[in-house]
Amino acid sequence: MGTNATQKVKIVSKPSLSYTLKSLEIGSPTLFANREFKVQVCRVAASELKKKGFEYKITEEGLVDEYIVTRLK
């Protein structure tokens, strides 16, 4: 491989569930798909954020492959 055959690196960024949950508006229900973030992972992230003063309601009642997250505080 010569010096003229260099390629630019592609930076890969991973979606952050914590930042996503923090950015939700208070009182506004938001629909998440399980393919984006699994509901159990979301529950763990919400539990961790609760220690920092955030509060969320997570429900999957009546939904298939989706769940609703509402930021309470």
pLDDT (0 to 100) of residue 3: 54
Q: How many residues make up the chain in this entry?
A: 73
Contact 53, 9 (CB under 8 A): no
Both tokens of 40, joined, read 């159990």
Confidence of residue 17 (pLDDT cuts 50, 70, 90): confident
Residue 66's identity, in one-letter code, is: E
- The pTM of this model reads 0.76
pLDDT digits (tens, 9 = 90+) for 19-57: 888 988 999 898 998 988 899 999 999 999 999 999 999
So what's the pLDDT on residue 11? 57
Helix (H, G, I), strand (E, B) or coil at 26: strand
> Taking Cα atoms as reference points, which of 20, 21, 17 lies closest to residue 53?
21
Tokens 């508006």 -> residue: 25
